[in-house]
Amino acid sequence: GAVVSQHPSWVICKSGTSVKIECRSLDFQATTMFWYRQFPKQSLMLMATSNEGSKATYEQGVEKDKFLINHASLTLSTLTVTSAHPEDSSFYICSARDGKTGGYTGELFFGEGSRLTVL
Amino acid sequence: AQSVTQPDIHITVSEGASLELRCNYSYGATPYLFWYVQSPGQGLQLLLKYFSGDTLVQGIKGFEAEFKRSQSSFNLRKPSVHWSDAAEYFCAVSSGNTGKLIFGQGTTLQVKP
């Protein structure tokens, strides 16, 4: 089955530093990847959509300069939280759409998530 | 705009009892509907999906869901709950062409021994 790997699974950083989270599709080509943010006991909030080789599309209210998304290849997307602050602490989940099978149905495959704690 | 509502934030059932988690959606065209399960600190696992055809869909772990267009609902059911089913359940809708998934608020399932 389609597998999406996310790394790191957890990270602790100091306020003001930047953190990069990677999302890889292991056995399929992910033409589109999505990044979600989840606060404790809450639902997933879509942050941005990234298409391979083009700029990410951010949802309203998401700071694109703070949350840098790069989708340089068909199997890798990265989310960089720049100048992180405690309020950026959250669970970040990536998901990917298989370019062959998911194009018309919207089915997504999810990574395991990355828990960011900013001190 | 698309939206998904899960009316029940928290549900507790006894092990072996039946389960129904409610999901209502708002979407202008035929929706693509999904149910995902999330264990604490984990990503999401797809339980089942509805794209078209038979309105009763079977999923993994003994779950099923029924699409009712007249009620704009896609409720998740399981005839006999196991303790390992305790988790967070999310209903989601996709427009298909954008690939975006819009999630409901989630329902926390607690299973009593």
Question: Which tokens belong to B90?
Answer: 């999310």
pLDDT at A38: 92
pLDDT digits (tens, 9 = 90+) for B23-53: 999 987 778 899 999 988 888 999 999 988 8
**Mean model confidence pLDDT for chain B:** 91
Per-residue burial over B35-58, b = 16 or more CB atoms within 10 Å of its CB, e = otherwise: bbbbeeebbbebbbbbbeeeeebe
Residue A101 above 70 pLDDT? no
Residue ranges of B 22-81 with Cβ closer than 8 A to chain A: 32, 34, 36, 41-46, 49, 51
pLDDT at A12: 97
Chain A hits for B59, Cβ within 8 Å: none
Q: How far is B37 from chain A (nearest CA, A)?
A: 11
pLDDT digits (tens, 9 = 90+) for B50-104: 988 889 999 999 999 999 999 999 999 999 999 999 999 999 998 666 678 889 9
Residue A59 above 90 pLDDT? yes
CB contact under 8 A, A46 and B104: no
Confidence of residue A105 (pLDDT cuts 50, 70, 90): low
B43, A112 contact by CB (below 8 A): yes
pLDDT digits (tens, 9 = 90+) for A62-99: 999 999 999 888 899 999 999 999 999 999 999 998 76
pLDDT digits (tens, 9 = 90+) for A5-39: 999 999 999 999 999 999 999 988 888 899 999 98
pLDDT at A30: 87
Closest CB to B99 among A42, A91, A106: A106
Pick from B30, B45, B100 the residue to mutate for testing the A interface (most A CBs within 10 Å): B100
Residue A119 above 90 pLDDT? yes
Q: How far is B34 from chain A (nearest CA, A)?
A: 8
Q: In terms of Cα–Cα distance, which of A85, A65, A113, A44 is closest to B92?
A: A44
DSSP annotation string for B35-57: EEEE-TT--EEEEEEE-SS-SEE
